[in-house]
Amino acid sequence: MRSLLALIFSASILAAPSACAETRVFIIANQADGGVGQCLARGDKCGASAARTYCQSRDFAQASSYRRVDPDEITGSVPKSGANCSHGRCDEYVAITCQR
């Protein structure tokens, strides 16, 4: 009986790391002036390396996703005009999901 319990416990320990992977979503302002930021905002393939680099700079192993985020989706206050707008164009926001 003890060996069966030990086997079940060992199996659950081995399965646990994949279930406990830490995930964090970073919201960053993206200037709407082209370049790599636009790759992230549009979800283009060219944004994959930028998202991965962003995650790795924050000690995460990989970026599992990245996409443009509407300011209404963000919890808290994100101004739609004023400091974030220049020449009538407001910043876009990008969500990058990183995993350890």
- The first and second tokens of residue 94, run together, are 């990008």
In sequence order, the β-bridge partners of residue 67 are: 95
**Global pTM value:** 0.65
Q: What is the pLDDT of residue 25?
A: 92
- Residue 8: HSE in the Cβ half-sphere, 13 Å Cα cutoff: 5
Please report which confidence band the pLDDT of residue 33 belongs to, taking 50, 70 and 90 as the band edges: low
Question: Cβ distance 94 to 28 under 8 Å?
Answer: yes
Q: What is the pLDDT of residue 90?
A: 60
Q: Evaluate if residue 32 carries a pLDDT over 80.
A: no
